[in-house]
Amino acid sequence: MAVGGRGRRPLLLLLLLLAVALALAARARAQLSPGFYSASCPTVHGVVRQVMSQAVMNDTRAGAAVLRLFYHDCFVGGCDASVLLDDTPAAPGEKGVGPNAVGSTTVFDLVDTIKAQVEAVCPATVSCADVLAIAARDSVNLLGGPSWAVPLGRRDALSPSRSAVSTDLPGPEADISALVSAFAAKGLSSRDLAALSGAHTVGRASCVNFRTRVYCDANVSPAFASHQRQSCPASGGDAALAPLDSLTPDAFDNGYYRNLVAGAGLLHSDQELFNNGPVDSVVQLYSSNAAAFSSDFAASMIRLGNIGPLTGSTGEVRLNCRKFSATMAAMSASGRRVFLLGALLLVAVSCHGGFGGVGVAEGLSTRYYAKTCPAVESVVRSVMARAVAADRRMGASVLRLFFHDCFVNGCDGSVLLDDAPPGFTGEKGAGANAGSARGFEVVDAAKARVEAACRATVSCADVLALAARDAVALLGGPTWPVRLGRKDARTASQAAANGNLPGPVSSLTSLLATFAAKGLSARDMTALSGAHTVGRARCATFRGRVNGGDANVNATFATQLRRLCPAGTGGDGNLAPLDAQTPDVFDNGYFRELTKQRGLLHSDQELFAAGGGGRSSSQDALVRKYAGNGAEFARDFAKAMVKMGNLAPAAGTPVEVRLNCRKPN
């Protein structure tokens, strides 16, 4: 009975969350009304329609872009126009994160135009959230789709929900289970999921989002895949566009569903709707009955628009959709948490060992557990989210564990093994790990949760790889598809840990050689060093640098640190942030610090010497580039993490899937 009770808890929790979501949706319906502006701005619908009509006439893709924007707004913190906010130093917005980080900015200009014309006739009356809701409805109708009465009365958010973008918006690789769960969390049914996905009957997607589909998926039409490969090569061409509905790309009809039935869905997440799953019958219905699709789509759009709106006196009515009103900005800036500049930048993926990448472990795939443990990523993510919420430093600690695992005989979970006297000595006591490696208990918790869901299936090495990716994203950094299928080593090597992990006093020459030995370039080394934008280091590792040992150190910076870390002895365990400006935010602050000679470790500052010591000017130039371009750093870091995650143990290494990450089975 105890086991059965535990098994019911996730279901009960899901039902409770669904009940709360439905209650919130009911409250929203009670407060929103199609006639909200009938007295205060009766012409709002005509104004919005006129601007949208001209925009779609000029470029039919504008309709798809506005519709997508509305979806991305509502799914992240509710339909509150938070997606429209520009970044500010106090509150980085949602535009540069995850699915929002790529694509044209023209759609935001279009919303600005609509808002300006509405303001001209009804000053300070209609919210940006309502403007976007009306524009989305008109986009669909102008492209040949249905229309509906839009409930109005939303107000605009006073802050963005940057951290929720990567977690709440399903990605192009999402499976049907993840899609159903994501929609259920918003109070939307499986039928709503099937209907709203029909928005992909218009619009385009970038090659980077469907490369895996057309090279790796089994449930794809061979002719369709062959055709798409012509514009989306195995590597390169990430930004090349293809229509989501190849039959009628600019007409809002049921062609999308006919494509799915033919195995010609462009994205993996699209084809998941018709893949022997729970909505196959709905897809079949929509593919042959356009009227049923139109009716359901309109009803589902109303439900989507009811997600978490701000009403009454909450929020504000922005005058400019890109920024808060001056009063609200002043009131909220001081209390707003600083989130990190980051972008989801996907990289070329591999089905069977890569398309010529360096050091790709054989058999790794982003879909390795698609059948055997489809929930693994969400399980790990939930554990990491709680850990980082409880202690921001834990994200840096788990990321460091992954580095220290992969650099010692490959990404095999060996760093997680405890010593077992008298015959087995693990890597935890090696120089770079002793007294500083932490996060093992978080990996244990994630592994235990995964084991509860998928017994003896997912390796500790893969749990750690996923946890490291999630640690970065949860601290505001980029995310990436993690290749999976690693096995756990039954052995460890403290000697290899001492010999392979760069130390805090390493020179640039030593760093380059160490990374090159792993098949990683100077650019990879520099990008991966950016992991030091989060975390702390002990006084013992930087004492020499700040107490006269280094010439290329900012004098004021050194003076401040000497108070914490005096010369001589004592205070070895005192901690200082590796990035003094934003110590718990994964951004490009680390590189900005290096350009000011404020790198905490000697090995950090070796990446930037301002042309001194005969060092490479190209190395300095790369640090300057990352210091000035957070998006480029995020992109390169994600790519380098994928490369590092491909480091495999030597052939013949005994491996298994451990049940307990701390000891062999």
Residue 356: pLDDT above 70?
no
pLDDT tops 70 at residue 478? yes
What residues form DSSP beta bridges with 81?
none
Q: Which residue has the tokens 């929720």?
A: 164
Mean pLDDT of the chain: 86
Confidence of residue 6 (pLDDT cuts 50, 70, 90): very low
Instruction: Tell me if 371 is assigned to some domain.
Output: no
Tell me, yes or no, whether 430 and 523 share the same domain. no
Per the model's pLDDT, the better-predicted residue between 154 and 367 turns out to be 154
**CB-based contacts of 507, cutoff 8 Å, min separation 6:** 603, 606
- Can you give the residue range of the structural domain that contains 396? 376-500
Same domain, 322 and 287: no
Q: What residue numbers does the annotated binding site for Ca(2+) cover?
A: 405, 408, 410, 412, 414, 427, 533, 579, 582, 587
What token pair was written down for 305? 């628009």
**How far is it, in rounded angstroms, from Cα 579 to Cα 600?**
8
pLDDT (tens digit per residue) in 228-239: 999 998 877 888
Nearest partner of 503 among 392, 602, 429, judged by Cα: 602
Pair 276, 323 in one domain: no
Residue 14, in any domain of the structure:
no
For 496-526, the pLDDT digits (tens) are: 888 888 889 888 988 998 998 888 999 999 9
- CB-based contact 309:78 (threshold 8 Å): yes
Structure tokens at 216: 């790796």
210-213 contacts at long range (C-beta below 8 A, 24 or more positions apart):
210/172, 210/242, 210/266, 210/267, 210/268, 211/238, 211/348, 211/349, 212/173, 212/268, 212/349, 212/351, 212/366, 212/367, 212/481, 213/172, 213/265, 213/266, 213/267, 213/268, 213/271
| 213 and 112 within one domain | no
Q: Is residue 19 part of a domain?
A: no
State how many domains the chain has: 4
Does residue 427 sit in the same domain as residue 455? yes
Confidence bin at 346 (pLDDT 50/70/90): very low
In angstroms, rounded to a whole number, what is the distance separating the alpha carbons of residues 131 and 70?
Answer: 10
For residues 207 and 143, membership in a common domain is answered with no
Instruction: Give me the sign of the Cα torsion angle 621, 627, 630, 633.
Output: positive
pLDDT (0 to 100) of residue 611: 53
Last residue of a domain, one of 500, 516, 546: 500
pLDDT tens track for 145-194: 999 999 999 999 998 888 788 778 888 888 898 899 889 989 999 999 99
- Give the per-residue pLDDT at 24: 43
Looking up residue 455, the CATH number of its domain turns out to be 1.10.520.10
Query: Both 254 and 316 in a single domain?
Result: no
Of 72, 268, 404, 602, which one is the catalytic site residue? 404
Whether residue 514 is found in the same domain as residue 619: yes
- Say what percent of the chain tops pLDDT 90: 67
Q: How confident is the model at residue 22 (pLDDT cuts 50, 70, 90)?
A: very low
- Is 404 designated active site? yes
Q: Are residues 320 and 271 in the same domain?
A: no
- pTM of full prediction above 0.75: no
Question: Cβ(501)–Cβ(538) under 8 Å?
Answer: no
DSSP secondary structure letters along 241-307? EEESSSSSTTS-SSHHHHHHHTT--SSHHHHTTSSSSTTHHHHHHHHH-HHHHHHHHHHHHHHHHTS
Binding residues for heme b: 532
Mean pLDDT value of segment 81-90 = 89
Higher pLDDT, 97 or 21: 97
452: left (phi over 0), alpha (psi -120 to 50) or beta: alpha
Q: What CATH code is carried by the domain that includes residue 548?
A: 1.10.420.10
For 74, the token pair is 């509502």
pLDDT(30) > 60: no
Helix spans in 407-538 (H): 440-453, 460-474, 494-500, 508-516, 522-529
How many CB atoms lie under 10 A from the CB of residue 381? 19
